[in-house]
Amino acid sequence: MALDAEFVVIGGGLMDPESTTEEFRSRYLRILRENMEPMLWPAQRGRITVVPAALGDLSQAIGAALVALYHNRK
């Protein structure tokens, strides 16, 4: 396995609470989980959690700040 993720984070407009309803987001994530499950390695099935992004519009700025912070610690 080249990638062994525990979480898959889904962001963008489809997960935006101002653009979609909670019912839509829940349904979208459920359908995504159901369709990705057969594509996973057996060891990954049941372990991967699909979650909506929580950082919103500031996610890119937060990510850039963290990269700078960790880069300067080396």
Share of the chain above pLDDT 90, in %: 28
What confidence category does residue 72 fall into, taking pLDDT thresholds of 50, 70 and 90? confident
Which letter does DSSP use for residue 55 in this model? S
Residue type, 65: A
pLDDT digits (tens, 9 = 90+) for 1-40: 456 678 888 888 888 888 899 999 999 999 999 999 999 8
Q: Decide: helix, strand or coil at residue 44.
A: coil
Query: What torsion do the CA atoms of 7, 12, 14, 17 make, to the nearest 10 degrees?
Result: 90
Q: Are 59 and 49 in contact (CB under 8 A)?
A: no
Per-residue confidence (pLDDT) for residue 3, from 0 to 100: 65
49 — phi, psi (to 5°)? -110, 130
**Where do the domains of the chain lie?**
7-73
Share in percent of the chain as helix, strand, coil (round to 5): 55, 10, 35
